[in-house]
Amino acid sequence: MDAVVCDRVSKRFILRPDRPRSFQEALIGLFRPRPKDGARRVEFWALRDVSFAVRAGTTFGIVGENGSGKSTLLRVIARILKPTSGAVRVAGRVTALLELGAGFHPELTGRENIYLYGSILGLKRREVNARLDEIIGFAELGEFIDTPVKHYSSGMLVRLGFAVAVHLDPDILITDEVLAVGDEAFQHRCLEKVHEFARAGKTIIMVSHDLNLVRQLCDEALWLDRGQVRALGDPVSVTRAYLDWANAKAFRRADAPAPNRRWGSFDVEVTRVEFLDGEGNPTWFFATGDPLTIRLHYRAHRRIERPVFGVGLHLGESVHITGPNTRFAGLDIPYIEGDGIIEYRVRELNLTRGVYLVSVAVSDHSLTHLYDYHDRLYRLEVRSRPGFEAFGPVYLPAEWRHLNGVAGPIRPRPGYTPAPPPSPGRQPE
């Protein structure tokens, strides 16, 4: 049985910059003659002929770039927006986790807000009552549950929002990147909850930028590009197709419009760059400590003696974190000709949470003549991992030890008077 069916769903937004936004403007418009066809009207199709079916009890992932229509699609499925054409059929109660805690009122306590939020999602008081303890437990609020929500930290709000929505026992759960909120431990429990949902035979529709998560959790995936379905089916092949396309797009960007980002004599060209995780799957999401492989596909247009391949990792535009190459590593490549692959393997990616830019280069043995240089054209994102956290961009694998500890706080001796502060102008000896 299908839990959700979208049949040729299209959604058009009409932007009318000339439309009066107030009674005042409407009134002025009455007296000012308007050109008949001059009313500007910008149409924007956020979704176009999107068709798919989600079988009951499966997990369905939606991937795509920002602005590809993913969130609009979720809102249409959740019945918040009405499609311009096409039909959506939903069997069962839907809970949409589009924004955690959106309905909370700051003056009310956590407990009062649970009831309010529950009723916004269409639940009866006794249904909320039956799950109240579970919700409070999951949100880890303890006695704060009877404190007005305005005193909560943002983490507490997010936990409460997730706890309420997920415990209200929907048949179909719709989530939009909400698994990426809160601290790592809470994210973990959210994921566990989603797994539990899936095991209980519930239907889940999720949007995520984390392609590994989509591969891990989903039975099927959909790739949305500018409101249209580009691929539908097995999550591994869909995410791979999406990733290939996104990489190719980054490459086209590299090729044409930004000459200052790529230069060289192009006797050897780097034709493609991939980031691989520990299993060899392409991705651009890593966690601190994960293995990382950067794979360069090259094409040598003539025989090149002793080339050197290098990569660079940058934080933003200014901080160059590391720039290894094959020559420093002692890998002597006698010559190359035609197509080939070079891999740079990192056993543990010891970068902390953040977005990093990656450069790649091919040069001659002296490192002075560049064949092809891609200056910070690729990006990879690192998530934090408990136990692998540090301030600054780098985590050094190390351990802390505590030797010869002093027991208890240090107290001054009785009768001890602190030395007077050094008078200014005199150098301490």
Partner 1 sequence: MPGAGLRTYYFKAMLSVIPGPDRLAELFRYRELLYNLVARDLKVRYKNSVIGVFWSLLNPLAMSAIFTFVFTVLMPSGLPRYALYVLIGLLAWNWTVGAVVGGAQSVVAHGHLVRKVYFPAEVLPISTVISNLVNFLFALIPLFLLMFTLGQVPGPQLILLPVAIVTQLLFLSGLALAASALNVPFRDTAAVLDVLMLGWFFLTPVFYRVEDLAGDWSRLMYIVNPLASIIANYRILLYYNTWPDPLFMVRTFVQALAVLAAGYLVFGLLRDRLPEEV
Beta strands in 208-352 (DSSP E): 220-225, 228-233, 262-263, 268-276, 285-287, 292-305, 308-315, 319-322, 335-346
- The answer to whether residue 43 forms part of the interface with partner 1 (CB under 8 A) is no
Residues 54-93: x where in contact with partner 1 by CB under 8 A, - otherwise, as a string: ---------------------x--xxxxx-----------
Pair of tokens at residue 1 = 């049985």
How many Å apart are CA 157 and CA 27, to the nearest integer?
44
Pair of tokens at residue 222 = 């959909």
Cβ neighbors of 36 (< 8 A, separation 6 or more) are none
Number of residues that bind partner 1 (CB under 8 A): 33
Question: Quick one: 6 or 94, whose CB is closer to partner 1?
Answer: 94
- Per-residue DSSP letters for 62-85? EE--TTSSHHHHHHHHTTSS--SE
Residues 108-127: x where in contact with partner 1 by CB under 8 A, - otherwise, as a string: x---x--xx--xxxxxxx--
- The answer to whether residue 389 forms part of the interface with partner 1 (CB under 8 A) is no
Residues between 209 and 268 with contacts to partner 1, criterion CB under 8 A: none
- The answer to whether residue 44 forms part of the interface with partner 1 (CB under 8 A) is no
- Of 94, 172, 198, 214, the residue at the interface with partner 1 (CB under 8 A) is 94
Contact 5, 77 (CB under 8 A): no
- Of 8, 18, 26, 196, the residue at the interface with partner 1 (CB under 8 A) is 26
Q: Which residue's entry shows tokens 């176009």?
A: 48
CB of 89 vs partner 1, minimal distance in Å: 15
The neighbouring-strand residues paired with 336 are: 304
- The answer to whether residue 23 forms part of the interface with partner 1 (CB under 8 A) is yes
Closest CA to 361 of 246, 259, 252, 262: 262
- Of 1, 17, 22, 66, the residue at the interface with partner 1 (CB under 8 A) is 22
How many Å apart are CA 167 and CA 171, to the nearest integer?
11
Please choose, out of 31-39, 107-115, 395-403, 407-415, the segment that lies near partner 1 by the rule CB under 8 A: 107-115
CB of 21 vs partner 1, minimal distance in Å: 6
Question: Quick one: 92 or 122, whose CB is closer to partner 1?
Answer: 122
Dihedral pair phi/psi, residue 363, rounded to 5°:
-140, 175
CB of 103 vs partner 1, minimal distance in Å: 5
Phi and psi based region of residue 141 (left: phi greater than 0; alpha: psi -120 to 50; beta: remaining): alpha
Question: Quick one: 108 or 180, whose CB is closer to partner 1?
Answer: 108
Question: Quick one: 89 or 249, whose CB is closer to partner 1?
Answer: 89
- The answer to whether residue 146 forms part of the interface with partner 1 (CB under 8 A) is no
How many Å apart are CA 193 and CA 81, to the nearest integer?
27
Question: Quick one: 112 or 381, whose CB is closer to partner 1?
Answer: 112
- The answer to whether residue 402 forms part of the interface with partner 1 (CB under 8 A) is no
Give the per-residue SS3 of 120-137.
Answer: HCCCCHHHHHHHHHHHHH
CB of 112 vs partner 1, minimal distance in Å: 7
If you ran DSSP here, which 8-state letter would residue 254 be given?
Answer: H
- The answer to whether residue 329 forms part of the interface with partner 1 (CB under 8 A) is no
Torsion of CA 403, 406, 408, 414, to 10 degrees: -170
How many Å apart are CA 158 and CA 178, to the nearest integer?
9
Question: Quick one: 77 or 218, whose CB is closer to partner 1?
Answer: 77
CB of 370 vs partner 1, minimal distance in Å: 50
- The answer to whether residue 318 forms part of the interface with partner 1 (CB under 8 A) is no
Q: Which residue's entry shows tokens 């009785």?
A: 414
The neighbouring-strand residues paired with 304 are: 336
- The answer to whether residue 21 forms part of the interface with partner 1 (CB under 8 A) is yes
- Of 24, 66, 404, 417, the residue at the interface with partner 1 (CB under 8 A) is 24
Contact 11, 76 (CB under 8 A): yes
Question: Quick one: 83 or 307, whose CB is closer to partner 1?
Answer: 83
Question: Quick one: 77 or 287, whose CB is closer to partner 1?
Answer: 77
Question: Quick one: 51 or 129, whose CB is closer to partner 1?
Answer: 129
Terminal alpha carbon distance of the chain: 85
- Of 34, 41, 89, 105, the residue at the interface with partner 1 (CB under 8 A) is 105
- The answer to whether residue 36 forms part of the interface with partner 1 (CB under 8 A) is no
Residues of this chain that interact with partner 1 (CB under 8 A) are 13, 19-24, 26, 75, 78-82, 94, 96, 98-99, 102-103, 105, 107-108, 112, 115-116, 119-125
